[in-house]
């Protein structure tokens, strides 16, 4: 049986498709789904005496990308530009 050559293994974040800068940004079109979940996670953390700051920040970021719902043409540059605008002016 011929021996297969193993492909080099990618580790950590480099495995995730979004780590490839040539691919379209995947967060924007799906962020609308995460906002309520992140708020719920923040509430749960705080109820357990754990800071919910990270989850609240993720919820606010997701909410700022609502207008990109299901827009798979949005670029990472556009998403970052949205974050540079004052809230409500994305």
How far, in Å, CA of 73 to CA of 84, rounded? 20
Q: Which of 74, 76, 42 is nearest to 56 (CA)?
A: 42
Q: What is the pTM assigned to this prediction?
A: 0.62
Tell me the C-alpha to C-alpha distance, in Å, between residue 5 and each of 8, 9, 14, 66: 9, 12, 21, 44
Is residue 28 predicted with pLDDT exceeding 90?
A: no
Position 37 pLDDT exceeds 60: yes
**From its phi and psi, is residue 7 left (phi > 0), alpha (psi between -120 and 50) or beta?**
beta
> What would the two tokens of residue 8 be?
């080099």
Residue 17 has pLDDT above 60, yes or no: no
């Amino acid at each position: 049986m011929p021996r297969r050559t193993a492909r080099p293994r990618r580790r950590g974040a480099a495995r995730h498709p979004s780590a490839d800068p040539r691919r379209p940004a995947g967060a924007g079109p799906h962020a609308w789904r995460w906002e309520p979940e992140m708020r719920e996670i923040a509430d749960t953390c705080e109820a357990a005496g754990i800071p919910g700051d990270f989850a609240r920040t993720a919820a606010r970021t997701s909410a700022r990308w609502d207008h990109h719902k299901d827009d798979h043409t949005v670029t990472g540059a556009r998403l970052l530009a949205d974050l540079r605008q004052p809230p409500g002016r994305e």
